[in-house]
């Protein structure tokens, strides 16, 4: 038996480091996820709860940058505003009183005059004997407490020889606003003012505004801030309801509520009701006092004396022994369940609640491992869960469908699932819901719903409707009694309906069958994500940029191709349009080791039977690798890299009779030339093809274009219906066809728009091997 001593909550936190933190484990139906703090610098402030309440109430808010600045000292003008708002007055009421004041140092245009005048009218604020207010001076703790006591309409006996503020501090202490925590002569900081003001606003007073007592039990008392406090007796996370110990009725949490902290049974909470629901709630129980985990044994897990109030649990992936207070039960029937508990100061659990050990989410991956370590796995939210050998599976075809027995093989990526786990974290039960359903639908345009499998789904304002990929606005644009694809969100709401022709992209083909003629003919098919699709003979098929007939497809021809785009008849497996390309990588090989090669810093493995040049890592060939779906190279081809274009300039530099550098500029890009002889006879405006080595240097040049017409009279350019263009020169009967993208230049190399060549210009025409003009050079500028 392990030795277990009673510990304080603080010590207990150290014992299971990282485990006793609210929210460490997500426990459905137990703890409610808290709203993130609206102010970035109060998380560790001792007055955090008071700050949150006043921020919610609009009495003392944070700054526009998201901070509260709790250590900043409050000015007298600022406190005047806080005080009148805390008394229940509004900004609008203060605005009415803006303007001239009784204080000689307070100009009428000062931002706080309305609040100060209102506070003076209520007798809660006074100036100094010299007639000043000193609005920018820091308010002292004693001054702030005096204002708040006066706000309670308490009759204070000031006939004393002590400091003027002593009577007010005494009353503030009596009613519970001040506990001698801060020196009365120090400047009041924002978090301290929040603490005092929170206590003031929660102070019960007579309905006529006079102070009653700090317990507030008398009939007729009211609070400026209606804060209800208590301890959680029960909590239903699904329906967002809780009940306090000693109360008979449940409290519902508003959908828009600000909730700070983790709501669990046994936690102390404070909340504010608005429109009959809790609209603001803070958990006073600290994170140090909350522990979450999984029950491993019931109480008295050994027969040893002293273990009657102890059980084993898994907390933060560690096995620990926990001790409970008398009256707290943990039974054997709760083994494997999740729990949330509140730990007392003595380290013992004083309250505990249980829930099923379940987790929910969208399936990211389903996999089966075979062999000696055979197992089935399912991945949710980045976590992989292993199935118990006896795990059961049930499923629903769509959110409102009936739950039926199913198989592990029915699970797919994108399904919504709930997993039930045992104490070891293995999956014992799976319930999945398909979030996409295909079937014949009926459409009710009067009541705005769609029926599938005899189940109705409301068409909501945000439901997207598509016909032939085009968004439509009206439900009657969908066809009745035709197949559609319905898509749902995780809450079961219908979010998209598709009919007609659909589209997809970025898929990989794993198998191909060829077209077979006959009666009937067999269509070519492709397999994508384990599903076989028919390629209609009328389909528009494009492979590597070329149009191909679907009836020409052969067995395995399209294996390992990547789908760029495709269209299919919604609800069927008929493809009407398909664009494919090989999975290729192009570049220079920088390393070769056995069957592995490195291209552009990435390592690729050659598939069985595929080879590459032995000197691939050093030669000047640029290789094209064709990949299969496993990422292996299934085909290799290599050739020297060639660049074609218009020569802008050629430069060969000599020194002492030898060539020290050479370069050629083609289509605006400059290339170094490693063999100067290659550019010896190359001239500006020639059309050339450069052969490059692996460093990008020119090792050979071939010329395909030359000047064929010189100093010709420019007649004009004619554009024809088919898009071809012709340049006319000399006379209106002599012309040559222009290449697509033909350019016009001056002899200094600058560009000119084709449309800007004048009939008075003389031009030279440069023609490629096909007899087409690729550049018109204007003789003079």
Q: Give 538-588 pLDDT, tens digit per residue.
A: 999 999 999 999 999 999 999 999 998 888 888 788 899 999 999 999 999
- Residue 730 has what DSSP assignment? S
Q: What pLDDT was estimated at residue 354? A: 85
Beta bridge partners of 416: 362, 433
What is the mean predicted confidence (pLDDT) over 16-22? Answer: 32
CB 665 within 8 A of CB 656: no
The answer to whether residues 94 and 160 belong to one domain is: yes
Query: CA torsion sign, 324 to 329 to 332 to 338?
Result: negative
What are the start-end ranges of the E strands in 481-619? 482-488, 494-499, 501-504, 507-513, 524-528, 531-543, 546-548, 561-569, 574-582, 584-587, 589-593, 596-599, 602-605
Closest CA to 229 of 284, 174, 170: 284
Q: Does 726 score more than 70 pLDDT?
A: yes
Query: Which range marks the domain in which residue 512 is found?
Result: 503-582
Q: Give 439-497 pLDDT, tens digit per residue.
A: 899 999 999 999 999 999 999 989 999 998 889 999 999 999 988 889 999 999 999 99
In a domain, 674, yes or no: no
Q: What pLDDT was estimated at residue 356? A: 83
pLDDT class of 10 with cuts at 50, 70, 90: very low
DSSP assignment of 517-545:
-SSSPBPEEEEETTEEEEEEEEEEEEETT
Q: What pLDDT was estimated at residue 270? A: 92
Closest CA to 445 of 473, 471, 420, 415: 473
In a domain, 673, yes or no: no
The answer to whether residues 176 and 264 belong to one domain is: no
Give the end of a domain, one of 499, 524, 541.
499
pLDDT class of 644 with cuts at 50, 70, 90: very high
* Omega prior to 520 cis, within 30 of 0: yes
Closest CA to 748 of 778, 706, 775: 778
CB 27 within 8 A of CB 352: no
Q: What pLDDT was estimated at residue 18? A: 33
Q: How many CB atoms lie within 10 A of CB 548?
A: 16
HSE (side-chain half, CA atoms, 13 Å) at 466: 19
Give the end of a domain, one of 564, 582, 600.
582
d(CA 699, CA 135): 83
Helix (H) or strand (E) run with residue 715 in it: strand 706-719
The answer to whether residues 145 and 287 belong to one domain is: no
Q: Give 176-214 pLDDT, tens digit per residue.
A: 899 888 999 999 999 999 999 999 988 776 545 555 544
d(CA 707, CA 714): 15
Closest CA to 570 of 660, 647, 515, 499: 499
Give the end of a domain, one of 169, 196, 221.
221
In a domain, 687, yes or no: no
In a domain, 682, yes or no: no
pLDDT class of 781 with cuts at 50, 70, 90: low
d(CA 160, CA 165): 10
Q: What pLDDT was estimated at residue 254? A: 92
Going by their DSSP bridges, the two strands 427-433 and 383-396 should be labelled as parallel
425 against 222, higher pLDDT = 425
The answer to whether residues 440 and 518 belong to one domain is: no
SS3 state at 601: coil
The two tokens of residue 775 are 């550049």
DSSP assignment of 167-199:
HHHHHHHHHTS--S-S-TTSBPBHHHHHHHHHH
In a domain, 767, yes or no: yes
pLDDT class of 136 with cuts at 50, 70, 90: very high
Beta bridge partners of 449: 444, 458
Into how many domains does the chain fold? 7
The answer to whether residues 208 and 97 belong to one domain is: yes
For the chain, give the number of residues.
781
The answer to whether residues 574 and 605 belong to one domain is: no
Crossing angle of helices 141-151/166-175, nearest 10°? 60
**Which range among 104-108, 417-421, 653-657 shows the weakest confidence by mean pLDDT?**
653-657
Query: Which burial class, exposed, middle or buried, applies to 623 when counting CB atoms under 10 A from its CB (0-12, 13-18, 19+)?
Result: buried
Going by their DSSP bridges, the two strands 482-488 and 358-369 should be labelled as unpaired
CB 448 within 8 A of CB 497: no
The answer to whether residues 202 and 71 belong to one domain is: yes
SS3 state at 369: strand
Q: Give 494-530 pLDDT, tens digit per residue.
A: 999 998 876 767 789 999 999 999 999 999 999 998 8
- At residue 251's C-alpha, the angle toward residues 245 and 256, to 5°, is 135
CB 137 within 8 A of CB 148: no
d(CA 756, CA 743): 12
In a domain, 694, yes or no: no
The answer to whether residues 336 and 208 belong to one domain is: no
**Which range among 46-50, 353-357, 420-424 shows the weakest confidence by mean pLDDT?**
353-357
SS3 state at 217: coil
d(CA 537, CA 688): 43
d(CA 293, CA 340): 7
350-380 exposure pattern, b = at least 16 Cβ within 10 A, e = fewer:
bbbbbbbbbbebebeebeeeeeeeeebebbb
Q: What pLDDT was estimated at residue 202? A: 85
The answer to whether residues 98 and 204 belong to one domain is: yes
CB 294 within 8 A of CB 423: yes
The pLDDT > 90 percentage for the chain reads: 59
CB 450 within 8 A of CB 444: yes
Q: Model's pTM, two decimal places? A: 0.46
Q: Give 155-178 pLDDT, tens digit per residue.
A: 788 876 678 889 999 888 888 899
Q: Give 31-56 pLDDT, tens digit per residue.
A: 455 667 888 899 889 999 999 999 99
Closest CA to 714 of 765, 645, 773: 765
The answer to whether residues 64 and 183 belong to one domain is: yes
Q: What pLDDT was estimated at residue 161? A: 60
DSSP assignment of 92-161:
HHHHHT-S--S-TTS-TT-TTHHHHHHHHHTTS----TTS---TTSBPBHHHHHHHHHHHTT-------S
In a domain, 659, yes or no: no
The two tokens of residue 258 are 């600000």
Q: Does 417 score more than 80 pLDDT?
A: yes
The answer to whether residues 401 and 337 belong to one domain is: no
pLDDT class of 308 with cuts at 50, 70, 90: confident
Q: Does 148 score more than 50 pLDDT?
A: yes
Crossing angle of helices 190-202/141-151, nearest 10°? 20
Q: What pLDDT was estimated at residue 22? A: 30
The answer to whether residues 348 and 475 belong to one domain is: no
CB 281 within 8 A of CB 257: yes
In a domain, 692, yes or no: no
Q: What pLDDT was estimated at residue 8? A: 40
CB 399 within 8 A of CB 492: yes
């Amino acid at each position: 038996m392990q030795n277990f001593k009673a510990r304080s909550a603080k010590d207990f936190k150290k014992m299971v480091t990282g485990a006793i933190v609210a929210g460490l484990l997500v426990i459905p139906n137990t703890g409610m996820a808290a709203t993130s703090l609206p102010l970035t610098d109060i998380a560790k402030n001792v007055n955090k709860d008071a700050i949150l309440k006043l921020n919610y109430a609009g009495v003392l808010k944070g700054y526009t940058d998201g901070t509260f600045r709790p250590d900043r000292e409050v000015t007298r003008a600022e406190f005047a505003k806080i005080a009148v708002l805390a008394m229940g007055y509004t900004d609008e009421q203060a605005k009415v009183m803006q303007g001239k004041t009784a204080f000689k140092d307070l100009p009428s245009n000062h931002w706080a005059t309305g609040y100060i005048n209102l506070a003076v009218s209520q007798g809660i604020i006074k100036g100094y004997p010299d007639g000043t207010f000193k609005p920018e001076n820091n308010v002292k703790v004693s001054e702030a407490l005096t204002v708040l006591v006066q706000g309670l309409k308490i009759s204070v006996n000031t006939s004393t020889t002590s400091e003027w503020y002593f009577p007010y501090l005494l009353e503030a202490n009596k009613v519970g606003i001040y506990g001698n925590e801060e020196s009365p002569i120090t400047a009041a900081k924002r978090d301290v003012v929040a603490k005092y003001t929170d206590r003031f606003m929660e102070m019960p007073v007579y309905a006529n505004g006079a102070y009653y007592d700090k317990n507030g039990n008398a009939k007729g008392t009211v609070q400026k801030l209606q804060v209800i406090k208590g301890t959680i007796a029960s909590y239903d996370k699904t329906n967002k309801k809780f009940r306090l110990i000693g109360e008979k009725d449940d409290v519902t949490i508003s959908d828009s509520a600000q909730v700070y902290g983790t709501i669990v049974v046994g936690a102390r909470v404070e909340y504010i009701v608005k429109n009959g629901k809790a609209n603001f709630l803070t958990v006073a129980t600290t994170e140090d006092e909350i522990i979450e985990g999984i029950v491993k044994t019931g109480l008295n897990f050994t027969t040893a004396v002293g273990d009657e109030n102890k059980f084993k649990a898994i907390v933060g992936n560690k096995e620990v022994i926990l001790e409970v207070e008398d009256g707290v039960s943990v039974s054997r029937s709760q083994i494997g369940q999740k729990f949330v508990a509140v730990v007392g100061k003595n380290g013992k659990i004083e309250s505990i609640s249980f829930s099923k050990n379940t987790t929910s989410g969208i399936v990211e991956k389903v996999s089966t491992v075979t062999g000696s370590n055979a197992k089935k796995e399912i991945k949710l939210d980045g976590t992989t869960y292993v199935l118990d050998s006896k795990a059961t599976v049930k499923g629903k075809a769509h959110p409102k469908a009936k739950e039926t027995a199913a198989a592990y093989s029915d699970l797919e990526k994108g399904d919504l699932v709930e997993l039930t786990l045992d104490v070891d974290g293995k999956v014992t039960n799976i319930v999945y819901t398909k979030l996409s359903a295909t079937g014949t639908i009926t459409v009710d345009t009067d009541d705005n719903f769609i029926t599938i499998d005899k189940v109705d789904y409301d068409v909501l304002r945000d439901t997207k409707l598509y016909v032939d990929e085009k968004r439509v606005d009206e439900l009657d644009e969908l066809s009745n009694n035709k197949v559609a694809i319905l898509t749902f969100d995780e809450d079961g709401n219908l979010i998209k309906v598709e009919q007609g022709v659909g589209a997809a992209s970025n898929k990989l083909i794993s198998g191909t069958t060829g077209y077979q003629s006959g009666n009937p003919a067999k269509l070519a098919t492709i397999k994508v994500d384990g599903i076989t699709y028919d390629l209609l003979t009328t389909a528009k098929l494009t492979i590597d940029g070329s149009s191909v007939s679907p009836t020409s497809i052969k067995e395995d021809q399209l294996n390992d191709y990547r789908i760029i785009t495709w269209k299919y008849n919604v609800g069927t497996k008929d493809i009407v349009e398909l664009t494919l390309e090989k999975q290729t990588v192009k570049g220079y090989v920088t390393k070769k080791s056995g069957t592995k090669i490195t291209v552009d810093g990435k390592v690729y493995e050659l598939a069985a039977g595929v080879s590459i040049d032995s000197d691939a890592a050093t030669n000047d060939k640029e290789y094209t690798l064709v990949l299969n779906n496993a990422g292996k190279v299934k085909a290799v081809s290599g050739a020297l890299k060639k660049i074609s274009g218009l020569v802008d300039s050629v430069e060969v530099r000599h020194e002492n009779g030898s060539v020290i550098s050479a370069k050629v500029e083609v289509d605006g890009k400059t290339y170094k030339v490693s063999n100067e002889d290659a550019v010896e006879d190359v001239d500006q405006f020639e059309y050339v093809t450069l052969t490059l080595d692996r460093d990008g240097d020119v090792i050979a040049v071939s010329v395909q274009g030359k000047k064929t017409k010189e100093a010709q009279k420019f007649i004009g350019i004619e554009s024809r219906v088919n898009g071809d263009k012709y340049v006319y020169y000399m006379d209106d009967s002599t012309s040559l066809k222009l290449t697509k993208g033909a350019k016009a230049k001056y002899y200094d190399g600058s560009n000119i728009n084709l449309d800007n060549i004048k009939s008075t210009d003389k031009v030279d025409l440069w023609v490629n091997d096909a007899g087409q003009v690729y550049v018109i050079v204007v003789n003079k500028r």
